[in-house]
Copies of this chain bind each other. A is one copy, B any other.
Amino acid sequence: MVGISEYIAIVSAVIGLIYAVILIRYILSRDPGTEKMQELANYVKQGANAFLRREYIWITPVAIILAAVISLTVKPYGLVALGFAIGAAFSALAGYIGMSMTVRSSSRTAEAGRKGMDSALMVAFRGGSVLGMTVPGLALLGLAIFYLFVPQPAAVVGFGFGASVIAMFVRVGGGIYTKAADLGADIAGKIEAGIPEDDPRNPGVIADNVGDNVGDCAGMGADVYESYIVTALAAILLGTLVFEGGSVFGVSRPDLVPYPLVIGGMGVLASIAGGLAVRGAKRGKAMAALNRGLYVAAIIASILDVVVTLYLFSFDLKFAYAMAGAVILGLVVVIVIEAVTDYYTSYRFGPTKAIAEASQTGSATNFLSGFATGLKSAAPIALILVVAIAISYSLGNWAVGASCSPNTICSAGVYTTSITTMSMLSLTGIILSIDAFGPITDNANGIVEMAGIEGVREVTDELDAIGNTTKATTKGFAIGSAALAALSLFIAYQSEVSAAYLNHGVTNPPEYVLSDPLLLIGLLIGGLLPFYFSSFLIGAVGKAGFKMVNEIRRQFNEIPGLREGKASPDYEKCVDISTRAALRELVAPGALAILTPIIVGVVLGPVALGGVLIGSVVSGVFFALMMANAGAAWDNAKKYIETGMYGGKGTPTHAAAVSGDTVGDPFKDTAGPSINSLIKVLNTISIVFVLVFVMLHL
C-alpha cells in the first residue's frame, strides 16, 4: 500500500488545520472587551506584526542566497531548494497565524475573566491552540505532500534546513526582542521610576507585551516546528536503512519509510482530544485542567499509535511490538520531563523555596542559589534522556535479533531511537497550546492592569502565574526533544557521509573514532559553540536593554505630565528600538551558527564536523537546561516572595529576588532556548552540504 503513511498524515494534518480554523472563529467571536482594552491590544498587535514582518523581510535575502547555493551544489538539484522554500515558508506561516491569534486572544481572555476562571482559561487555551494546531498541521501537511510527490529522502533534507534557518532567526530574534524590552521596561520603569509592572505610563510596556508574543509564541513555535521537521527527517533517513534493500526484513518495504509521519498524525488527533478535555477549571486549580489536557492527549496518542503501528507492521509482530514500545516511551518521556521541570521551577517545591530563602542575604546569594539549582536540574533530565536512548535502542535491536558488534551501526536500534523522539514531538499540538497560553495570559493580565479593569485581576493573576509555569515546563520539552532530535540527525549525517563515500568508490568511509585528533578538535569546537553563542545573546540583551533604558528615561524627562499619567508615552519609539536592536544583534550569532559548520566542513572535513555536531549537544543541552530552569526558578522565587513570604514586596529580600529574576530573563527566554536552534541548525546544514564536504576531502 504505497502512500498509506502519507495519506494518514495528510488526513490528520487537515483535521488539525480545520480544528485550528474552528478555534480561530471561536476566538474572533468572543467579546474583545472595552474600547480601552481593544486599543491596548491593538498596540501590541501592531507592534508584534511589524516586528515579524520586518524579521521575515530581513531573513528573505539570506534564505534566497542559501536556496541558490543549495540549488547549485546539492543533489537532487532544485528539489532540495524547493523543499527548503516550502519548509521555510510554512514555518513563517505557522508563526504568523499563531501569533495573530495570541495577540487577539489577550483582551478577549481579560474580558472573559469577568465571567470566571473557566471562561478565561478556555479563551486563553484555545487562543494558544491555534499555534498548537497550525505548527504540526502545516509541518505534517508539507512533509507528507512533498514526500508523496518526491519520495526521495535526500530531497526532504531541504525541508529540514528551511525550518532550521527560520527557527534560528525567529528564535534568536524573538529572544533578544522580548528580553531587551523586558529588561529596559523593568529597570527604567519598575526600579527607577518606581511605577508598577504593566503600568500604561511606562513607555516600554507595549514593547514588553509585544516581546511575550514574538518570543514565547512565534519563537517557540518556530523552534518546535523545526524540531518536528528535523526529527521526522532524521527518522525518514534512518528508515531507509531499515526498510529499503531488504537487509532487515528480507523484503524491501520503502512504503514504510514515511511511517514517522503517521506518528505525527496520531499526535495531532490526540492533541485535539486533549485540548477538548481542558475545561471546567476552578479558581485556584486551573493548572489541573491544563494537566488533564496533556494526560488525555498522551493516553489517546498511545492508543492510536499502538493500533496503527500493529496494523502497519503486522508482517513482523516482534518488530511491531518494539515500535509500539518506542512510541509509548516517547510519550512517557514528555510527561516525566514536564514533571521534573515543574519540581525544579515551581515554588510549590523545595528548590525554588530555597532560592527565596537565600534572597534574604542579598542578590549575590539569591543568584548563587538559583544558579546551583539550574545546574542541579540538568541531572535528572540527562538521566531521562540517557535511559530513553538505552531502552529505545535495545528495543530495536531486540526486535530484529541483531547482535550488533560495538563497531557497527545497528540500524534498527538507531531507528527506534528516532521514533521515540518523533513520538515525543507528536504531542507538539497540546504542548504548544499550553505554551502559547503563557503570552496570552501574561498580556491579558497586562491589559487588565493598564486598562484599570476591576474584579478580574484575581483570575488573570492566577492564569498569569500558571502561564509562567507552563512556559518553563514546555521549555524542558523543547530542549530535551531538540537534544534527541540532534542525536538522530547526527546518525543520519553519518550515514549520509558513508553513502557519499561509497558513491565515490571509497569502500571504507571514515569512522568517528575518538582517537582521531580531528574528531577531538571538532568536539572541542562544538563544545565551545553553545557558550560562545550565548555570550553574544546575553551581551545583545544587555546592549539593547541599555538603549531601551535610555529611551524610557528620555521620555520621562522630556514628555511633560507623563509621570503623573496626564500625557501618553511614545510606545512606538520603544517598539522600534527593540525591533531594530533584535534584528541587528541577530547577525553575529546567526553567522556563527551558519558559518561554523560550513568552515569546519570545508577546512577540516566531515569527521571534524561530526565532532562539532556531537560536541555542541554534549555541552549545549545541559547549558540550555541550566539557563532555562534557573531562569524560571528565579522568576518563581520572586513570585513566592510576592505572596508575602520573607516580608513580601518592598523588602530588600524582594529586591534581591527581582534582581535574580532580571538575570534569569535572558537566561530562560533568550540564550537557553536559542541553543536548541543552534544545535539543530548545525546538523541540518551539515546534512545539506554533506556531499560538498565529502568531495573536498576524498
**Least CB distance, A71 to chain B, in whole angstroms:** 31
Check A565 for interface membership: any CB of B closer than 8 A: no
Type the 1/0 row for A383-426, where 1 means its CB is closer than 8 Å to any CB of B. 00110011001000000000001111100011001000000000
**Least CB distance, A495 to chain B, in whole angstroms:** 9
**Least CB distance, A109 to chain B, in whole angstroms:** 30
Check A561 for interface membership: any CB of B closer than 8 A: no
Q: How far is the CA of A509 from the CA of B368 in the complex (A)?
A: 45
Q: Pick from B376, B382, B517, B610: contact of A535, CB below 8 A.
A: B376
* Dominant secondary structure of chain A at its interface with chain B: helix
Q: How far is the CA of A382 from the CA of B528 in the complex (A)?
A: 7
**Interface stretch (choices A23-31, A434-442, A541-549):** A541-549
Number of interface residues of A (CB under 8 A): 83
Query: Contacts A382-B524, A531-B378, A618-B618; is A491 near B515 (CB within 8 Å)?
Result: yes
Check A607 for interface membership: any CB of B closer than 8 A: yes
Query: Contacts A375-B531, A614-B523; is A513 near B515 (CB within 8 Å)?
Result: no
Q: How far is the CA of A512 from the CA of B386 in the complex (A)?
A: 18
Q: How far is the CA of A626 from the CA of B626 in the complex (A)?
A: 14
Check A361 for interface membership: any CB of B closer than 8 A: yes
Within 8 A of B (CB), among A508-545: 508, 510-521, 523-528, 531-532, 534-535, 538-539, 541-542, 545
Q: Which residues of B contact A567 (CB under 8 A)?
A: none
B407 touching A368 by the CB < 8 A rule?
no
Residue from A525, A607, A618 with most neighbouring chain B CB atoms (10 Å): A618
A515 touching B622 by the CB < 8 A rule?
no
A535 touching B622 by the CB < 8 A rule?
no
**Interface stretch (choices A44-52, A251-259, A313-321, A658-666):** A658-666
Type the 1/0 row for A349-369, where 1 means its CB is closer than 8 Å to any CB of B. 000000000100111110111
Q: How far is the CA of A579 from the CA of B43 in the complex (A)?
A: 59
B508 touching A365 by the CB < 8 A rule?
no
Type the 1/0 row for A607-623, where 1 means its CB is closer than 8 Å to any CB of B. 10010001101110111
Q: Pick from B363, B368, B390: contact of A542, CB below 8 A.
A: B368
Q: How far is the CA of A386 from the CA of B376 in the complex (A)?
A: 30
Q: Pick from B390, B408, B516, B525: contact of A407, CB below 8 A.
A: B516
B363 touching A363 by the CB < 8 A rule?
yes
User: Which residue of chain B has its CB nearest to the CB of A192?
Assistant: B361
**Least CB distance, A115 to chain B, in whole angstroms:** 39
Check A487 for interface membership: any CB of B closer than 8 A: yes
Q: How far is the CA of A379 from the CA of B526 in the complex (A)?
A: 11
Check A102 for interface membership: any CB of B closer than 8 A: no
Check A494 for interface membership: any CB of B closer than 8 A: yes
28 cross-chain CB contacts under 8 A: A183-B365, A187-B365, A191-B362, A362-B662, A363-B367, A363-B659, A365-B542, A365-B662, A367-B367, A367-B659, A367-B663, A368-B541, A371-B663, A372-B542, A375-B532, A378-B531, A379-B528, A379-B532, A379-B535, A386-B524, A389-B521, A406-B516, A511-B513, A527-B617, A531-B622, A531-B623, A615-B618, A659-B659
